[in-house]
Amino acid sequence: MLQALWEDIGPPEGPSRSSWWNPLLFPFYVSCLSVVIASVAGLLSLWKKSNSTTSRSASSTENDHVQGGYLQAHTSRFGGTREFTFAFARWVGSVALAWVSVVAFVFRQPDSVQRINPSLLECIAYIYASLLCTLAFGLPKLSSVILKHSTFVYSVSFLVYAYRDLLPLVTYDHFPLDATDGSYLWIKISLLGFLTVIIPLLTPRKYVPVDPHKPMSTPNPEQTASWISLLTYSYANPVIKAAAETSHLSPAQLPPLADTDASKTITEHAYPIVDRFSGGGQRHLFFNLLHVHWRMFALFIPMLITEVAAGFAAPLGINRVLNYLEKGRDNSTLRPGFWVAWLFLGPTVNSLLRNWYQYLNDRMAVRIESLLTQLMLEHTLLARFKASTSGKDDDEEESEDTQNTTGRINTLITMDIDNIVSGTDFLNPFFKVPLQIIVSLLFLYTLLGWSAFVGFGVMLITLPLPGYIASLSSNINRNKMKATEARVEVVVEALNALRMIKLFGWEEKIASKVSSKREVELGWMWKQRSLQITSSIATFCMSSAIMLGTYTAHTVLMKEELSAAKVFATMSVFSNLRDHVQTVFYFFTSTIQAKVSLDRVDDFLRNAETVTDKNMSIPTGITAFLQEEDTRIGFRKALFSWSENIEEPHVYKLRIGDDIQFKNGSLNLIVGPTGSGKTSMLMALLGEMYFTPLAQDSWFSLPRKGKVAYVSQESWIQNDTVRSNILFGSPFDQTRYDKVIRQCALYKDLSSFSAGDMTEVGERGLTLSGGQKARITFARAVYSSAEILLLDDILAALDAHTSKAIIDTCIKGDLLRGRTVILVTHNSSLMTKADCVISIDTNGNAHVISNSIDGKLLLTTMKEVDDSLSSLEPEVPKESDDSDGKLVDAEEVEKGIVSWKAIRLFLFHLGGKHPLTFLAIVLAGIISTDLSTTFQTWFMGYWGAQYDTHHPSEVSVWKYVSIYAAILFISVIFYCFAFLFYVTGILRASREIHKLLLTSVLTTTLRWVDKTPVSRIITRCTRDISSVDGSLAILCWAVTETALSLFNKLLIIVLVNPMSLIPGIFIAIIGYYTAQLYLKAKLPINREMSTAKAPVLSHLHASIFGLVSIRAYGAQDAFKLESRDKIDNYTRMARVSFILDRWMGVRIDALSAFLSSSLAAFLLYRRTTNVTTGGLSLTLSLEICSYTLTTIDLFNHFQIRSNSLERILAYLERPEHEPQSTQSGVPPAAWPTSGELRVDKLSAQYSANGPRVLHELTFNIQSGERVGIVGRTGSGKSSLTLSLLRCIITEGDIYYDGINTKDLNLDALRSNITIIPQVPELLSGTIRKNLDPFDQYNDETLNSALRDSGLFALQSDMRDEARITLESQVASGGNNLSVGQRQIIALARAIVRRSKLLILDEATSAIDYKTDALIQEALRRQVASDTTVITIAHRLQTIMDADKILVLDGGHLIEFDSPKALIRKKGGMFRSLVDASSDKEVLYSIAEGKVLK
């Protein structure tokens, strides 16, 4: 082929030299084309400028004046000294080349026969190119465009000379065609190489910002790196160096995120395609993502084609080297040195292409992850979290389109998006591998003839097998993901209700419930792993059958011999073919998982119900919404429900029969009994409920032009400082802020905080009392500029004095004057101060009441004594003295390599009770498999050697085929046994590690729960457990398998050819050093990646819990921006992590290629080596190199994945754990027989180094007594109840029914004490499930508890279909019930338990007075006489008829006696509290026994 081409070109002399097709004229042609293109571009530019009046002014201000002289100014225009230096070097090189070409032309002897002088035209081309370089050097702004033209001219010229004068140097028969130019030729070629290769590769690229008006102050090095730096990833060297010089690489040492990878850039580009709210999202998510990245996929195709072609460089090189060893120079055109260089350059080019493809794919994957995460977060902000459920039984499988639960979203945003990201490389199995198989077939055909088609036929026969396995894998993965989602939902719900679970002593039962879900998940995991081994065996058998069929056809049918060159070259191809088939199975699995996850995410994005959906059927002609300029607030003839299907049973309906309008700029009240729908009316105004028109003129309206503020009954607090919670994104105004603090009665609270308003309040405000949370969220609304304030019963959590102060100074004060306030309340004193009162009855019928008879009647029904004392939520002392107010500890990140303790956690649980025996069996199986596989290679060489010593007719082909098949069968048996045995260990380890983690979390202290965001715990239970189940377990197997295989092969090769030990040791040393540098940087970055993921999830959970508030305030944009910042922080580390992978890959591949070519050179120039031995040494040495690299790579990834083990281990060791149960701590079977309680010198504190919150309390409570606990906020009331349950650190003794609680197991103690917290926590499911979550009681008991809790009395006037029954559904967190209804359900749950000690901690604070009175009466009648009841109440009436009153102040016991005795005590604290009440006469009468409640 080469000979024919040279004949076409012809010798230097002759007519062809003057031909217009002379290659030396190509640079001149390109120069002419460049002139034409530049001229057209210049004319177009002038035409555009003439039509634009602003371009000139913009360009005149583009560059700022630079001080320091012309040279410095000129240098800065290039981007810096480095860029200027390369531009200057390019200019010098171009001038030198033009000068050399002119000199060569002048001193060249002219040829008389030439019609066209190529040298002259070549000089013109070089002069033109040098002028372009000069112009570019003088005009930096246009340099990038100009230099493209000059580089193109030089590149064409260099290729011409390379073909004419460099390529002949590696042949035996040809010489340089332009040798007559003498030294000028090599000078020109050197200068062309300098201008074409060196300068373009080394010149830094110019930073081009995404937004020219907002460029990055410090661009990412990737954006300015030269091409050689990009291809070798050398721009990551500063990160590698920084990691090597420090013990832990911190995020601050990483380069900034490129603006091209910023979430804002990605979403702006992709949302019009993928987001249905931005005009896209009409097709499946896969096609939308394909549309977004179509340019990238178009680039991937030619890259993969080139990579596949380059991948056959090594087999071709081996074949040519062995052929040269066999036949010498016979029929060889190219020198052996060419093939030595080929064995280096071919694999190196292949490596560069493969790593560049992977780099682009990784970048795309990170962008897709960023896009989908942001998209999920934004859709979550729009999602309608249904407050009612479908009515399914608990054990009935839910359809995928049911309610948008937190667990489902958490699974989608973690596991499903991870699966999608892992499946982005789908071109590998669907394009690259088929192409590799086709090229492999062609390559085998050139060596083995048509027998290669026999192997191809075998492949076609076995081809349906991957498809069948893929279909099975799809179903199994889908079911496995459902099982995982079910487990995660239970875990998330348990973690959100962890405080309730601990107070009730339900840890073991919840752990058992989660474990049952886990067992289902592990069952599907077993099927998944079994299918994986089936896939591996099928891969091995398919590739072996193809190879066996090909060799059999070649020897039996074609009667050909198997020479050394054929055997070793084709075995290399067959080895690659086996890897290709394995790649197909591997990527099929990940692609199928990605497809399942894509479907799930697509279903959520396209079908999840949102508040913006037009999901309400509105007949034509009805105006559902008023015009934007209409300022009316209210409803007309409308019906609202929590379900789209209003005929669904037990669906609450809010009915507005006529016209209800709130008064603008005034105080409006919404009143009614508990459960009537007061909160629902606010939700209806906010558009959170389904709207059904009742007439043609129906409408509802809440103008948003002047902004809206909303305060929910369950105060929504962010995990931030007090000030940030109040400001909520509003600009800080010191004067207004101080006034808000005073009017919302927060001044005294902030003074008691260690860092004032800069104190962190914990996740969901766990460190605040209920009153503090209510006042902070109220302050947020007051501070905002909203014209309309929707307040949901904020006064229920406040004591009488605080309520009165807020009403007088704030609600009727100057900050709310002129603003529309709509307040849900039970407070009767506000009736006379309101301008409009809306009443809702128990059936959900709303109407406006007047200030006449209806108002007076309502006033009597809702009358209550303003005698409240304390806040709703337990007081948590402000124990920290730190001035920064930090509560949540920063998540710790391990340093250095993964500890042996973390790895041991996994390895020892693999074997259960006999870990060493388990590991010995697995190792024996792997070694046996590898030895049999190695024996196959030896046997093939032995088979081929028979043709050297025997006539082909004497070689029994079927004998060797049979033996080879037997060896394959034995290998399969060993592999199956070892892997399946290992899978049993994986399941065992997964089960035990999950159990340990769950137990550790469930048995931790409440203080640790307060300091640890739930998102971190969820990450451990989802992402990290998923890593242990999947990639970590498989990597552990792969590392062990490849390391043992490497050792076996090295041992055998050393025995066969000791010289092969040299490259093995060399590559091991260099590879180890490179791996250490890589690992030193990679491990901390991956740890920081895991840490950076938690804030994204935490932000998601905070958004879900405060969804209504966020939408009411219109703060979605602020939350979107915050999520972008958190996603960008994660993306920044993910990009660096993937770049480090490529940095490692290129260098290790280059080492491998260098050693392969070195060994080939040794074999070629040391001709004493036997051909067979040399071929075997070369092939197996390449395998050793490959296995060494694979082992290092797998070990690095195993270390990285072991980060999950570190994070899990940290939770097993570091959290403060409560005492474990012991046999001695089990109480007698009949205990407790009474509710007697004796406390002796009880002191308590929340942490070991915190202040005491209780100080040596001593008191006795007789069995059956009803005791009320009173005291102002912070006096220690709730701390006392937590001490009784041993939830905090205590000193002293507590005797419950004669037994010291210190001697009892915690589960025994807490399961025999029932506490009703002020903020009840409910589980999703039915009312039955909440009353009896573990199926211990019958319906009669449960209904009796509902009756005694006051629910039936409350619902006496309700329609039957609206009543709450045992089968009524409860949404996650009880969101479909009012807080009052939730308190009633919690009270019923306490009654069901029938404990001898019942603690009510503000249990009826959100219930109206009438219902509260019914509940208190029911408790007196229904609770057993020997049951002790301790009540903390915000209404003095509730506890005035108690047997005793316990008065606390500052953690000290001040008074303890009967109410009658205490009110007679002059100067007593309790008497002063009663005297301060507005209804003290009634309270005195109750205490004296003269008035019955």
Distance CA 258, CA 1132 (A): 8
**What number of CA atoms fall less than 13 Å from residue 26's CA on the CB side?**
15
Distance CA 450, CA 430 (A): 26
pLDDT score of 1302 more than 50: yes
Summarised one tens digit per residue, pLDDT across range 1395-1450 is 888 888 776 665 666 667 666 776 676 666 778 888 887 667 778 888 899 988 88
DSSP state of 10: -
pLDDT at 255: 92
The mean pLDDT of the chain is 79
pLDDT above 90 as % of the chain = 9
pLDDT at 1214: 67
pLDDT at 1181: 64
Summarised one tens digit per residue, pLDDT across range 238-265 is 999 999 888 888 888 899 999 999 999 9
**Mean pLDDT over residues 878-895, rounded?**
49
Tell me phi and psi for residue 1165, to 5 degrees.
-95, 0
Distance CA 483, CA 891 (A): 29
pLDDT score of 1353 more than 80: no
Distance CA 648, CA 391 (A): 9
- Helix H segments across 824-914? 853-861, 900-910
Which of 1326, 1076, 1071, 1281 is CA-nearest to residue 1191? 1071
- Rounded to 10 degrees, the C-alpha dihedral 720/724/729/735 comes to 180
How far is the CA of 985 from the CAs of 83, 462, 918, 962, in angstroms?
58, 32, 8, 35
pLDDT score of 235 more than 90: yes
pLDDT at 1405: 63
pLDDT at 879: 40
**Per-residue confidence at 884, pLDDT binned at 50, 70, 90?**
low
pLDDT at 1478: 65
Residue type, 1240: D
Whether 1186 contacts 343, CB under 8 Å: no
Lowest mean pLDDT among 45-59, 884-898, 1048-1062, 1353-1367: 45-59
How far is the CA of 336 from the CAs of 350, 838, 1060, 1151, in angstroms?
21, 97, 21, 21
∠ CA 7-10-11 to the nearest 5 degrees? 125
Distance CA 30, CA 224 (A): 29
Distance CA 1047, CA 1067 (A): 14
Q: Omega of the bond prior to 1232 within 30 degrees of 0, cis? A: yes
Who contacts 1130 (Cβ-Cβ below 8 Å, separation ≥6)? 370, 1089, 1092, 1093, 1096
pLDDT score of 114 more than 70: no
Long-range pairs for 1417-1425: beta carbons < 8 A, 24 or more residues apart: 1417/1493, 1418/1347, 1418/1348, 1418/1349, 1418/1350, 1419/1348, 1420/1266, 1422/1348, 1422/1391, 1423/1391, 1423/1398, 1424/1264, 1424/1394, 1424/1396, 1425/1264
Q: 3-state DSSP: the chain helix, strand, coil percent, rounded to 5?
A: 65, 10, 30
**Mean pLDDT over residues 148-171, rounded?**
87
pLDDT at 506: 84
**Mean pLDDT over residues 801-810, rounded?**
80
Between 770 and 866, residue with greater pLDDT? 770
Structure tokens at 384: 């309608």
pLDDT at 71: 55
Whether 466 contacts 588, CB under 8 Å: yes
How many H-runs (helices) and E-runs (strands) does the chain carry?
56, 22
∠ CA 1401-1405-1409 to the nearest 5 degrees? 130
Whether 164 contacts 11, CB under 8 Å: no
pLDDT score of 1197 more than 90: no
**Per-residue confidence at 801, pLDDT binned at 50, 70, 90?**
low
Who contacts 723 (Cβ-Cβ below 8 Å, separation ≥6)? 732, 737, 757, 758
Summarised one tens digit per residue, pLDDT across range 390-422 is 333 333 333 333 334 666 787 788 778 888 888
pLDDT at 319: 73
Q: Is residue 841 classed as helix, strand or coil in its secondary structure? A: coil
pLDDT score of 880 more than 50: no
In order, the DSSP letters of 649-664 are TT--EEEEEEEEEEPT
Structure tokens at 1297: 């029914």
Strands (E), 1366-1466: 1369-1370, 1397-1401, 1428-1432, 1444-1449, 1452-1457
Q: According to the per-residue pLDDT averaged within each range, which of 358-362, 447-451, 840-844 is highest? A: 358-362
How far is the CA of 255 from the CAs of 250, 1136, 1205, in angstroms?
11, 8, 28
Lowest mean pLDDT among 235-244, 575-584, 759-768: 575-584
CB neighbours of residue 788 within 10 Å: 25
Summarised one tens digit per residue, pLDDT across range 543-571 is 777 777 887 888 777 877 776 667 667 77
pLDDT above 70 as % of the chain = 81
pLDDT at 257: 92
Whether 422 contacts 593, CB under 8 Å: yes
**What number of CA atoms fall less than 13 Å from residue 1051's CA on the CB side?**
10
pLDDT at 237: 92
pLDDT at 788: 92
**Per-residue confidence at 1259, pLDDT binned at 50, 70, 90?**
very high
Distance CA 182, CA 1073 (A): 46
pLDDT at 1182: 64
Which H or E run contains 692?
Answer: strand 690-693
CB neighbours of residue 89 within 10 Å: 16
pLDDT at 853: 37
Whether 656 contacts 1081, CB under 8 Å: no
Distance CA 1205, CA 909 (A): 12
Q: Report how far apart the first and last C-alpha atoms of the chain are (Å, whole number).
A: 111
Lowest mean pLDDT among 468-482, 684-698, 1141-1155: 468-482
**Mean pLDDT over residues 735-744, rounded?**
90
pLDDT score of 1380 more than 60: yes
Which of 1445, 1447, 1400 is CA-nearest to residue 1419? 1400
